[in-house]
A and B are shown apart, each in its own frame.
Chain A
């Protein structure tokens, strides 16, 4: 039972364009969502998060949007850069349990 789903295993985007990574969740108890970036053979790096009281959070080139009614969140990267090529994981947690529930990841490839 996947509570957090990233349905696109991979995404290819032209350098300079916008990358949009999507994530869906099923557990309505989730109230905090995070995006991590991971290079091969390295630990994940925290990128950005959003609490369920917000619908948007922005940090530089990264913006996360949360649609609670649709149980959907997305990460926008603009403009996309070659160094953004990595696997992106969406994770969620509930206030009552701080464990993270992870999506399967989306491999983002930025083409020059």
Chain B
């Protein structure tokens, strides 16, 4: 149980184009999903919290107009990198929150998406 998928796993695009990454919780409903970015040899950096049916909450320093997040259903959140530039090349990972007893929520992660912007 608690499986999260991401699609695509790898994407290469030209500078200036937009790329959409999907995150799905396959066997549970997730009212909250998270989008992370990982730079080489660094820990995960939380970009935004995606709440079903409402606007995403972005972390400080993350451009909301560049990284569009849509949480259209309880099992799907999408991240669109708009007008991508080479510096956006990174490993993007989503997670879905599985609610447990009060204070024991666990996040389950997707396999990640490697974005390369040429």
Chain A residues engaging chain B, CB cutoff 8 angstroms:
31-32, 34, 36, 41-46, 49, 51, 89, 93-95, 98-100, 102-105
A89 touches B103 (CB 8 A): no
Task: From B12-20, B61-69, B70-78, B107-115, give the one contacting chain A.
Answer: B107-115
The complex places the Cα of A49 from the Cα of B44 at a distance, in Å, of 18
Chain B window 38-70, contacts with chain A (Cβ cutoff 8 Å), 1 for yes, 0 for no: 000011101001000000000000000000000
Judge whether A49 and B104 touch: CB under 8 Å.
yes
> For A41, what are the chain B residues with a Cβ–Cβ distance below 8 Å?
91, 112, 114
**Are A89's CB and B114's CB within 8 A?**
no
| Complex contact A46–B107 (CB within 8 A) | yes
B93 at the interface (CB under 8 A from A): yes
Give the docked Cα–Cα distance between A102 and B107 (Å). Answer: 12
Contact A43 B95 (CB under 8 A): yes
18 contacts between A and B (CB under 8 A): A32-B105, A41-B91, A43-B4, A43-B94, A43-B112, A44-B44, A44-B93, A44-B95, A49-B106, A51-B103, A93-B103, A94-B103, A95-B103, A98-B32, A99-B34, A100-B34, A102-B44, A105-B43
